[in-house]
Amino acid sequence: MLKIREILLALPETTYGVDPGLSAATDAILVDNLAWALEGAKMYERKPVRASMAPLKPIFGGTLLGTTFDTEIKGSGSAGVAPEIGPLFRGCRFGETIVGGTSVAYSPVSGTDASLSLYYFQDGTLWKRTGCRGNPAFNLETSQSGKISWGFTGHSKMRGTAQAGAATTITLPTTYSTINETYTGQTLKINSGTGAGQSRAITAYVGATRVATVAAWTVVPDATSVFEIDNGPYDFALPTPTYDSAVPVPLIAVPFSVDSYAAVIAKLAFDMGGALAMPADISSPDGVGQIQLTARKLTGSFDPEAVLIATQDFIGKWKGGNAMALDTGVIGALAGNRWRVQMPGITYTNVGKGDRDGISTYEMSFMAAETTTDNEVTVTFT
């Protein structure tokens, strides 16, 4: 398998942990540095007292799936149309505000948040993640495109209770996908109720009826049958994705300011600091309940050139605990591919000495707080 032949799709879920059915034509996201890892994988070691000193076979106790990747910061190409990275913001507890024909803005929320299904294609195989939530970290450097590093954690299995069964079918819950063939190729296992212990590959799926076709059951399932569907990996042909046509703009001629001062910087970085909770759940097929973002703490840094105190007193403002506005200004010139980052209330948390080609700089660390509810940062595409 070739590393370069990898594709990522993402879409918010209607029901937590249930794959709604994703399409390479509408849900593809252009990424780099795409990687996966097992999160919280459990192998239970048995250590009974025995005559033999040899260990017994360990038992697999479930796992979550982690996915990391980077994206460029760019618009959709049409003002007021969400960029392809929009679903990723929503999976990190950002709200989405669309003004038709004008703008799309993302700001963090503390209330109801979305979960995502992710499809990870790896040159002939597909590995899904459901119920995903995560955290973004932003990196803006001179002459490069803005980048966001994303980290998501999701479930390796879906679960549900059947509506009905027949000799070679099982009817999935009404919350499952309305799109044909969404679960074709995945393995369904009945964990409890009628037909418990049986495992079958899904060979066809009709979205309108939620009916999955399988090889003949030994015991036909019914409305008491509690099942799991394994998210893979399984063999699947690499699709042809469609991406936004907009090309990211380089970070030059950026009107950056902090405390209304046009600081000369080379880089700006910040991380939302989202805390993921992965509570144990004995009824879950992977041993973990709903993944939740339970807290956030936006921290960051930038590197302004050192100037006279009379020009800008960086150290004095750090000592004074001043709350200040940070604004990148509008980046880009074409409608549909302009973006801007605004933080109305940052406070310096540390200061250090730096050097940029023989020019003295400060290394300013900061934390962003809200000035009204949930407004510590806003990313706006226009």
pLDDT of residue 140: 98
Confidence bin at 210 (pLDDT 50/70/90)? very high
Confidence bin at 4 (pLDDT 50/70/90)? confident
* pTM exceeding the 0.75 threshold for the entire prediction: yes
pLDDT tens, position by position, 332-374: 999 999 999 999 999 999 999 999 999 999 999 999 999 999 9
The token duo for 340 is 């801007």
pLDDT of residue 113: 87
| Residue 314 φ/ψ, nearest 5 degrees | -60, -45
Distance CA 345, CA 325 (A): 5
pLDDT of residue 274: 96
pLDDT tens, position by position, 110-162: 988 899 999 999 999 999 999 999 999 999 999 999 999 999 999 999 999 99
* C-alpha of 134 from chain center: 5
The stretch 153-180 carries a mean pLDDT of 98
Percent of the chain with pLDDT over 90: 96
The token duo for 180 is 């044909």
Confidence bin at 41 (pLDDT 50/70/90)? confident
Average pLDDT over the chain, rounded to an integer:
96
pLDDT of residue 193: 98
Whether residue 1 has pLDDT greater than 90: no
Confidence bin at 211 (pLDDT 50/70/90)? very high
The full DSSP string for 10-68 is EEE-SSTT------TTTSEE--EEEEEEEES--EEPP----S--SPPPPEE---EEEEE
Whether residue 234 has pLDDT greater than 90: yes
pLDDT of residue 2: 80
